[in-house]
Structure 1
C-alpha cells in the first residue's frame, strides 16, 4: 500500500538501510511545536529590574511627554522619558504607535549615549525596551534608529541598573526572530553579554542574562551559528548547575533550542556532558512539580533521543528510563505528552533499546496513556507503539500485545483524527505480518476485542487512505479465513502459540 510505504519511509526499522534511517528519525517525531507562552515569553513589557525597587505607575498625556522629551532641559527630558516608559508599561500597542509617530525614538536613542546623565540614559533605555516588547514592526523602528550599538555599549555601564536594562532590551530584540538576532551577533552583542556574568552578578541580573541568551538560541531559520553557540555554552552550562529555578528554566529552554535539529547539533549538546544534570532535574522532588523546568528539560532530552543510536544510548545510560514512568504519569498532560514523545523516539531505535524500555517497565504506563490519557498524549503513545512494531522483535511485539496495547489501540480506532487511525491500522498490520508467525492468533484476538467491527466501518471513512488501509487489513485476515470463525475463547492464544514455537519468549518473560 502506497500510504503505508510513504509512512514507513519516515521510520527506522531493520528492513531498511541503517545508514539513512537515523537521519530520517527527526522527521517522525510528532513534536510539541506550540510555544509555551505561559512558561517562556519571548518579549516582556512590564519590567522589574533586580537592581531597582518597585514604584507606582501614573501616566501623563502623550502631548506632555512630547513637550518634555523635546525640551532642552535635562530635568524635563528625564520627566518625559520616565512618563513615556510608564505609559508604555501599562498601555497597549496604540501607545507605542503614538510614541513612534511623535518622532521620539531618535531622541531616546540619542539619550542612551549621554554618560554624564545616567538617569536620562536609564529612563530612555527603559522606554525603548518597552517599545521593543511590541510587534515586529515596533522592534524594527527601534533597530532602524540605531539602538542596537547603543544598547550594547550600555552593557559595560558601571551602573548596574543601566546595564541590566540594556540586557532586557537586547533580549526583546533577540526574541523577535533570526533577522534581528543576526544584527545583534554582527554587532558583537554576545561577548558583551557574557562579560556581564561574574561571581558577583546578582541572581536577578543573571536570570535576565539567561533569558536573553535563551532568546538568542531560539530561532532556527537559520540556526544560530556554531561559533556563537560555542561562545555561549560555558555560561549556559554554568546556569544549568545553579539552584535558582528561574535561571534553570531559561538554561533548559536554551538547550532545548540548541538540540532541536540534525544529529550534528544534537552532538554539540551531548558533548557538553549536561545529560546527567537534565535527568537529575527531571527526577528531583523540588523541580518535579516545577513545570517551567520539567517542560524544557524533557524537551531537550526528547530532542536528543531523536538523534543517533549512540546519542540515544547516552540518555538511556544516564538513567532517563528510570525517570520516564513518573513523567508518563505526571499530573500535567503536557508533560505526559512530551514524555510519550520521548519514549516514541527511543522506540524508533534498535530492538536492544526497545528491550531496555521493557526491562524498565515502560510498556505499562504507555498502555495507561493509550487507555486514559488526553488525546494528544494518546496520539504520541500510538506512535510509540507503531515504532515498536517496526523495529521490535517478535517476542517484543508479543509482549506489547500482552500488556494490553492491542486492546487499547483497537478502541482508539473510533477517534476522528485520520492520521491517528492510519497509524493504528499500520500498527495492527505490522503485528499481523507474516514475519511474526502470529497472523492467525492475532486476527482471532482482534475479533474477540471487537476490532473488526470498527475496521469494517472504516471502509466508509471520508479519508481515502483510511478506507484503503482498512480494506487491506480485512483482506489479509479474510485470506486466512478467520473473520467468520467462532470467537476466540482463550485470549492468551497468541501468547501460547508463540511460546510453543519460540522458546526465547520464555526467556524474555523470565528476564522481566
Structure 2
C-alpha cells in the first residue's frame, strides 16, 4: 500500500472508530497539514476524503482544511483545482442530509467562492461543473450564513468575463440577489452589493440594462439609508458604475434613481461624516443630476 493510500486509510479508520470524537478527526487532519508530506500529496488525500460519503465528519475536516490551503496563495489554490477538488466540492452542494450537512455545505460554498475568485480560468472550472444549477435553491436556505456564502460564490463569478456574467443571468440568479438586497442581513447584503457593482464594472451595456430592467435600482438605492458606511460606500460605487455604463442613457437611469427616492438619499450623503462617501455623493450629483446642484448647495447652507 502506498503512503498516500495509507494516510487515507488511517483517516477513514479514525472516522469510523471514533465518530463521536470530532476533535480527534480534525486533529488528525491538522497533523497531516503540519507534517513534512508534500502539499500536492496532502491535497490529494483531502480530495479523496471528500469523496467518501460514509464519513461526514472526515469530509467536513477535509473541506475546511482545503479552505485553509486555498486562502494562502494562487499557486496553492491551483494545486487544489488541479487535484480535482472542484467537482467534489460542488457535489457537496446537493449532498444528502446528514448530521453535519450544513457545516459541510457552508465550508464547501466558501471554498468554491475562494477558488472562483482567483481567476477567470477557475470561474470557468466552477461553471463547467454545474455549480450555478444548485445556487437558486440554496438562496432560499433557512440559514443566513449559507445564503451569504451563496451570494459570495455569485460575486466571485461576477468578476469574470461577460460570458461568465451571462451565465449568472441565465441561471436566474439576479432577482434572487435583489431579494437578498431587500431582505438579507448586513453580512448577506454586502456580497449582494458587490454582485451588482461587478456586473456594472465588468458586464456589457446589454447586461447592465438587463439588470436595471429586472429591478435592481429600488433595492440598491434603499440601502443608501442604512447605517453601515462600508455598505453605503459600496452602493454609491455601484451606482456610479451603472450611470457610467449607461452612457447616453444615463438620464433615463437617473430618472429611475430619482423615482425611488435614491436622489434624495444621495443628496443627504453629501454632508456625510465619511469624506469618501460625501465626495462620491457630490460627484454623482454633479455629473448626473446637474439640475440639482444649486438646490443641494442651498440645502447645505446654514439657516
TM score, norm. by length of structure 2: 0.86
2:153 aligns with 342
Picking from 17, 22, 31, the partner of 1:204 is: 17
Query: Are the counterparts in 1 of residues 47 and 85 from structure 2 also a CA contact under 8 Å?
Result: yes
Picking from 42, 49, 53, the partner of 1:232 is: 42
The CA deviation at 1:210 is 4.4
Picking from 142, 146, 157, the partner of 1:331 is: 142
1:91 aligns with none
Counterparts in 2 of 1:201 and 1:336: CA distance versus 1, 3 Å: closer
The CA deviation at 1:434 is 5.8
Query: Are the counterparts in 2 of residues 214 and 253 from structure 1 also a CA contact under 8 Å?
Result: no
1:365 aligns with 176
The CA deviation at 1:239 is 1.3
Structure 1, 386-395 or 273-282: larger mean CA deviation: 273-282
- Deviation by residue 1:295-316 (Cα, 9 ceiling, x = unmatched): 1111111111111111111011
1:310 aligns with 121
2:59 aligns with 248
The answer to whether residue 26 in structure 2 is matched with residue 215 in structure 1 is: no
The CA deviation at 1:208 is 6.0
Query: Are the counterparts in 2 of residues 458 and 466 from structure 1 also a CA contact under 8 Å?
Result: yes
CA distance in 1 between partners of 2:181 and 2:214 (Å): 11
Counterparts in 2 of 1:415 and 1:217: CA distance versus 1, 3 Å: farther
- Deviation by residue 1:8-59 (Cα, 9 ceiling, x = unmatched): xxxxxxxxxxxxxxxxxxxxxxxxxxxxxxxxxxxxxxxxxxxxxxxxxxxx
The CA deviation at 1:478 is 2.9
CA distance in 2 between partners of 1:240 and 1:208 (Å): 18
Counterparts in 2 of 1:482 and 1:461: CA distance versus 1, 3 Å: closer
Higher radius of gyration, 1 or 2: 1
2:242 aligns with 431
The answer to which structure has the higher helix fraction is: 2
The CA deviation at 1:284 is 2.3
The CA deviation at 1:358 is 0.4
Counterparts in 2 of 1:347 and 1:225: CA distance versus 1, 3 Å: farther
The residue correspondences of 1:7-18 to structure 2 (distance < 5 A) are none
Counterparts in 2 of 1:472 and 1:195: CA distance versus 1, 3 Å: closer
* Runs of 5+ consecutive residues of structure 1 not aligned to the other structure: 1-189, 219-223, 485-512
The CA deviation at 1:482 is 7.7
CA distance in 2 between partners of 1:439 and 1:388 (Å): 16
The residue correspondences of 1:382-421 to structure 2 (distance < 5 A) are 382-421=193-232
2:301 aligns with none
Picking from 253, 265, 269, the partner of 1:442 is: 253
The CA deviation at 1:472 is 0.7
* Runs of 5+ consecutive residues of structure 2 not aligned to the other structure: 295-303
Counterparts in 2 of 1:200 and 1:213: CA distance versus 1, 3 Å: closer
Query: Are the counterparts in 2 of residues 433 and 439 from structure 1 also a CA contact under 8 Å?
Result: yes
TM score, norm. by length of structure 1: 0.52
Picking from 240, 259, 262, the partner of 2:73 is: 262
The answer to whether residue 185 in structure 2 is matched with residue 374 in structure 1 is: yes
The CA deviation at 1:195 is 8.4
The CA deviation at 1:265 is 1.2
